Chain A
Amino acid sequence: MSFLSHLISGISLGSIYAIIALGYTMVYGIAKMLNFAHGDVIMVGAYACFFIASRYELPVVLGVLVAMLVCTLLGVIIERLAYKPLRSASSLAVLITAIGMSYFLQNAAQLMWTSNPKVFRSVVGDKSLKLFGGQLSISAIAIVTVATCIVIMLGLTWFTGRTKMGKAMRACSEDKGAAQLMGINVNATISMTFAIGSALAAIAGVLLCSMYPTLMPTTGSMPGIKAFTAAVFGGIGSIPGAMLGGILLGIIEIFGKAYVSTQLSDAIVFVVLIVILLVKPAGLLGKQVQEKV
């Protein structure tokens, strides 16, 4: 029974990683850059929801919506101010800018909201579902997290596979020049990708802090790095890869904590990553298309 309960916590933690990893992987797919500030956007989203729902005790739905709005704007502004001017710069310059943006957001949060931890009130309360005569209890937040993750996955699959904008996004991620020759506005498409990724980050932030209620300016940092790992693990640039990578990473982390060592659980996660990348350098579902010439 404890195995089952660990598996469930692994899947729900992994679902959060997956939602964050989607932001990394979509942005990487289209802008070919690693947006290391993505983890900190999560933190900003969590603060937005905290102020609305915990501090002022307004409805939770409003808190989540405001968080999504704030993060969407933030993501688009970050792209416009920090990354767009570097569109033709070396990838190293963009990477350093992204790391700088990450620290900027953390420090700005520290100035505005201090580094004292805030206690985030779970958006679904602390109810739980008892099964097998109380032997297995599944928390409401775990159920909500997994359900949200499934809805997001289905939504994105529909969006990229069926809508004009979504297909344009795939076209841009494959060949920006050719996409422009189709009449696609590449800059607008990149902005939209940042907007979607950041809105997802807000959701991830709310779910994360509902699960682990301590909110600080550095809250997004470690989950951000883990989600980046998950995106690479699943194959960066691939949307199903981010989902699979995120969930597997969550399961490995929780199992590592439960059966091996709490201290070593992060190390185990990264060892698994290294082994996977040695065997399959493009990640689990990574794309290695042979270009025809």
Chain B
Amino acid sequence: MLKVNDINVYYDAIHAVKEVSLEVNEGEIVTLIGANGAGKSTILQTISGLLRSRTGGISFMDENIGAMAPHKIVERGLAQVPEGRRVFLRMTVKENLEMGAYTQKASGVPDDLERAYALFPRLAERRKQVAGTLSGGEQQMLAMGRALMSHPKLLMLDEPSMGLAPILVEQIFSTITEMNREGTTILLVEQNAQMALSVASRAYVLETGHIVMQGDAHELAGNEDVKKAYLGG
């Protein structure tokens, strides 16, 4: 479904992502784990078209999206929940969700809003509130609900557990598996490797811009090196 082939991404002179190739197949949950600054978010931003790779290519549903404008990529069915959630703080919960449906026909939006509220009842209670007044967990739910409004075929999530209490992390991850069961393919970027490996089918391990390991998520969770570096023992 998504094929990233040999991309190199630079921030001016800094070589942030080095010859990265990865693949996500339809129906999978794939996770990309690695330490802070390894280049995980850079990869997602490049896939979404916010950054450009100097080499290689990115294809989604057999279409080259490497040079496509970000809004066109969303239209193709590839959405992202960005790092730090980035909800529109001065807009209401409902308006945030409506922005998520920007690429959709207006006629379907009321039903999709109900679906988002059903998935996250907390958002329904706060639909008229400005997003800046929500807690971190609620903002994460809003960011996820907002991304789902575009009916993505592939949803990329960047550190959805960041800064959340353990109980909320559980909830967010169970929502992710729920979304996947309903047919959304997931590419999950996480520092919380343990949680990520527990829900994913396959995983890539990223270190200073390189992919250093890849394979079955359960096998990687049992791998001694991965345990030592990312699972605290």
Is B91's CB under 8 angstroms from A183's CB? Answer: no
Is A184's CB under 8 angstroms from B102's CB? Answer: yes
**Interface segment, A30-38, A146-154, A284-292?**
A284-292
In the bound complex, residues from chain A placing their C-beta under 8 Å from that of B99 are 167-168, 171, 179, 182, 184
A292 CA to B152 CA in the complex, in Å?
A: 27
**Interface segment, B32-40, B75-83, B174-182?**
B75-83
Is A177's CB under 8 angstroms from B88's CB? Answer: no
Q: Is B95 an interface residue (CB 8 A)?
A: yes
A170 CA to B92 CA in the complex, in Å?
A: 11
Q: In angstroms, how far is the closest chain B Cβ from the Cβ of A54? A: 44
Q: In angstroms, how far is the closest chain A Cβ from the Cβ of B211? A: 24
- Given contacts A170-B91, A171-B88, A174-B91, whether A183 and B82 have CB atoms under 8 Å apart is no
- Given contacts A164-B106, A171-B99, A177-B82, whether A184 and B71 have CB atoms under 8 Å apart is yes
Is A183's CB under 8 angstroms from B74's CB? Answer: yes
Cβ contacts A165-192/B at 8 Å (1 or 0 each) = 0011011001101111111111000000
Interface centre among A174, A183, A290 (most CB of B within 10 A): A183
Is B91's CB under 8 angstroms from A181's CB? Answer: no
A174 CA to B130 CA in the complex, in Å?
A: 13
A168 CA to B103 CA in the complex, in Å?
A: 11
Give the size of the chain A interface in residues (CB under 8 angstroms): 23
In the bound complex, residues from chain A placing their C-beta under 8 Å from that of B87 are 178
Q: Is B66 an interface residue (CB 8 A)?
A: no
Q: Is B69 an interface residue (CB 8 A)?
A: yes
- Given contacts A167-B91, A170-B91, A174-B88, whether A181 and B98 have CB atoms under 8 Å apart is no
Q: Is A293 an interface residue (CB 8 A)?
A: yes
Cβ contacts B7-34/A at 8 Å (1 or 0 each) = 0000000000000000000000000000
Q: Is B46 an interface residue (CB 8 A)?
A: no
Which residue of A is nearest B49, CB measured? A180
- Given contacts A168-B102, A289-B89, A292-B139, whether A181 and B48 have CB atoms under 8 Å apart is yes
Q: In angstroms, how far is the closest chain A Cβ from the Cβ of B34? A: 21
Query: Measuring CB to CB, which residues of chain B are less than 8 angstroms from any residue of chain A?
Result: 48-50, 69-71, 74-75, 79-80, 82, 84, 86-91, 95, 98-100, 102-103, 106, 132, 136, 139, 146-147, 150, 163
